[in-house]
Amino acid sequence: MANHPSAEKRNRQRLVRTRRNRSVVTAVRSVVKKARVALAGGDAKAAGATVAEASRALARAASKGIVHPKAAARTTARIQSALNKLARG
């Protein structure tokens, strides 16, 4: 347990940040899952909108430091690649 006022404050800040970040991570996961389900559905037009939404959500989370930038880029690249493959044939 924290013994100094500054350590107690850091702990309070940590709790607030964790709660906020967890909700963002959950939302990003949900959007990415929707995109993957849309890609599995086979409709390129419908999947395109959800992939774009997932890409925006990942970029926003990465810019705020909630998700690692390379993890966001990797996930974006994978769903974009799947969309391109679906659109081609």
pLDDT tens profile 8-64 = 999 999 999 999 999 999 999 999 999 999 999 988 888 999 999 999 999 999 999
60: containing domain: 5-88
* Short-list 19, 56, 50, CA closest to 36: 50
- Report the number of distinct structural domains present in the chain: 1
Whose structure tokens read 């702990």?
11
Which CATH number does the domain housing residue 16 bear?
Answer: 1.20.58.110
Reported pTM: 0.85
